[in-house]
Structure 1
Amino acid sequence: MADLSAFPITSRWPAENPDIIQLYSLPTPNGVKISIALEELGLPYEAHLISFGTNDQKSPEFVSLNPNGRIPAVIDPNGPDGKPIGLFESGAILLYLAEKTGKLIPADAAGRYETIQWVFFQMAGIGPMLGQFGHFHKFAADKVANNSYPVERYRDEGKRLLGILEERLKGRQWIMGDLYTIADITTFPWIRGADVFYGGREILEYAKFPAVMDWLERCIARPASEKGLNIPARPA
């Protein structure tokens, strides 16, 4: 049985089975990336709910694994050289899981780097811009009631990025063509989330991006997505 005692986070969220991947997360656009990938890969894992309501992500135990205090984070007891490894940042975790299994990423070097660039496109663009849009549009609307600039700025940048994704997906089933990859997994929860969590479908004019919308439906319909989008389960 693996010894995870070197990771202080396990003192607060003990592993029932320390021999499998430990996921510390919440079903947000960033969090579900990892549960979806784990479901796609068929890797056994144990999910621990990190509640924003009680600021679990800022607790000393969680910060010991991710000093940035953000979900998701993982511990893989079977890391490189058979030693446990802790990881944070959803993009880094996705790349690690893809390379660990040889799945969800092209085998050839050119395809691999092309996939990684689209992962970075989401991490540096779609996620931050739609996240800021959602913050000002929904959660801070009262604070910017007399100043439309923040919402307009992130709305327009979000639409610009959706336009780039639209061009990429025209005539393609997935971002990398016929292969479903971590580029799809890292991106679609944010497109979905801007609608489901932020109510942004109309203001972001989703109807103007039909290739993105068709792709989003395909992503959501995958069995691993249907399950992973709700892991770990929120409290009733």
Structure 2
Amino acid sequence: MVSRSVFVTGGNRGIGLAVAQAFARNGDRVAVTHRGSGAPAGLLAVRCDVTSSDQVDAAFTEAEREHGPVEVLVANAGIAEDVPLVRMDEDRFGRVVDADLTGAFRVAARASRPMLRNRWGRMIFMSSVLGTEGGKGASNYAAAKAGLIGLARSVARELGPRGVTANVVAPGLVETELIKDMADERRRELIGRTFLGRPATPEEVASAVLWLAGEDARYVTGAVIPVDAGLALGA
């Protein structure tokens, strides 16, 4: 098994941590970004706010120094600031788009350099069921997550001839801190709309990411892989 250099943004908790740990168990060298909380043992923690191009460049430079050129990028970092449209101001809208969409662009652009030199690379962008379905009070988040699909498919077209694939994973309801704070009624409604009657685990999302980064998916690019138990199909 060949050990690869993997870079996971927002890899210190939730889905990102499950993804990072799955790659580490696979024998890969994994760097994860954080904004001050560090990361568990076995992962290289690099401090980075993806809204800063300078911090993104510094984080990649540190990861490259420790692990070599980044071969697999998982753009997972993001925030949510839900509020109804009539109360959504430009600052709140812009903060989410900057972190969730422009942040993914920043890391993809930086990761593309070594991938193009090596004529091989894997980029996986973490979107959401809301990127195609929208959500009440989530116009900023849904817009950013939808934008990731266009970003990934553009990267797939541009970099495919140089051996770089770009794909999207779109989770639905996942058992993370985010849904623990959700109102019980809303949680029951969403679970009822899944065909399996339960949320996903972070590890189930991670398995899709690991597959997209592997050789079994070498002919897959520009794809959107839903991990949502049918939630996006509607009731």
Task: Give me the TM-score of the superposition, normalised by structure 1.
Answer: 0.34
In terms of fraction of residues, the more strand-rich structure is 2
Task: Give me the TM-score of the superposition, normalised by structure 2.
Answer: 0.34
- Which structure has the greater CA radius of gyration? 1
